[in-house]
Amino acid sequence: MSVTYHIDPGGMIKGRLRVPGDKSISHRSIMLASIAEGVTRISGFLEGEDAIATLNAFRALGVRVEGPEGGNVTVHGVGLRGLRRPGAALDCGNAGTAMRLLAGLLAGQSFDCELTGDESLRARPMKRIADPLNRMGALIETAEGGRPPLRVHGGRRLAGIDYAMPMASAQVKSALLLAGLYAEGKTCVTEPAPTRDHTERMLKAFGCEVEKNQRTVCVRGGPTLRASAIEVPADISSAAFFMVAAAIAPGSDLTLEHVGTNPTRTGVIDILRLMGANLELVNERTAGGEPVADIRVRGSRLRGIAVPPELVPLAIDEFPAVFIAAANAEGTTVVTGAQELRVKESDRIQTMADGLRALGARAEPTLDGMRVTGGSYHGGQVASRGDHRVAMAFAVAGLRATTAVTVTDCVNVATSFPGFVELAGTAGLKIRAN
């Protein structure tokens, strides 16, 4: 199946809208609800392909899951030791989060299991989780080059470890914490820079004791997780495309409702504000243990900046959108320390640089980031290389192009943002898909 976006130039972004539920929280809600005792009811669940892959994986592991229907899911937990061997390999589709977190959770089970995915996922690195999990006593085999599929051998005796991550990664941290639930003693993970803490927050919501000291987080093996109601906020990673759209289009005035504003995820807000975006948080509150707010963004005159290194891990998924903001800013924006972008659904540094250049924008990729000099750019054809966030970023770029923009290979947008084209059109983007 092939999907191509066609974006006519010009327009402004107005109104109030709510983007789909947070993908990271949706993944984790299914996982922890499944190994909890009792019935968990989830609202706001993201009905995108990635989160559905996680839901289907736990059905295959013997968990009764009702829904999703209108964002509502009911999970009948089986307890920490209640998962059952699936009849076939678990297909994670395009979801790297699902595969990496499942590897940690499955490392402590009594049965063998294989994790696979689509062509894109099978090209992504997995030794970063396999190696520390194997240090805990797990036995996880990868394919050539440390890539999927993963073969997770059950019946292993896990022991807690102290692990200092060489690179900031919420997925690695979460995989080790989930394995730590099945390990003897204490499992501690120290991260070099703060990353999203949804796993820690949700573990607490399910009654698990979590110790945190600066950048080290620890869990002890053998807790009893108790069912909990989970409210999934709107995904700030999805909202980021509309934040940038409203910021770069003169005359725009957009309010994004009920967006998750977890401080480990708000790097994109801080970066856009440093660039001069007219952005404010209103109606700040807490929902389901997570901070949320409505975000109002108006058309702004952006300026290039050197992105502070401490903000990079807090905005790692939002950089495709940030690069579009940079192409519409006065001066040069410099991003460093973002080598993680090279091992996402695509090499996002190279893919974004190639796309920007195809539109006539000035972009210089580096080993760990990019230099983007703002100015006018024309339309043309951009290859998203099957990367959902790249596809949506270049759809937004069409607002300021001088001629039409075509973005190819956009089918994977459904993994994180079902209904993107329709919602973007409602907000004022001149977009159609075929």
Catalytic machinery residues: 317
Provide the token pair at 124: 């992504």
Cα(175)–Cα(147) distance, integer angstroms: 16
The distance in angstroms from the start CA to the end CA of the chain is: 10
| Spatial contact of 206 and 36, defined as CB atoms under 8 Å apart | yes
What angle (nearest 5°) sits at the alpha carbon of residue 414, between those of residues 89 and 326? 120
Cα(140)–Cα(180) distance, integer angstroms: 15
Cα(396)–Cα(374) distance, integer angstroms: 15
**Which is it for strands 162-164 and 139-143: parallel, antiparallel or unpaired?**
unpaired
Strand arrangement of the beta sheet that strand 369-373 belongs to:
332-335, 369-373, 362-366
Provide the token pair at 68: 């999703």
The residue ranges of DSSP E strands in 267-338, in sequence order, are 278-287, 290-298, 332-335
Q: Following CA atoms 360, 366, 370, 375 in sequence, which dihedral angle do they give, to the nearest 10 degrees? A: -30
- Separation in Å, CA 289 to CA 30, 114, 204, 353: 16, 33, 9, 38
Q: Which residues pair with 381 in a beta bridge?
A: 406
Amino acid at position 370, single letter = M
Cα(89)–Cα(279) distance, integer angstroms: 45
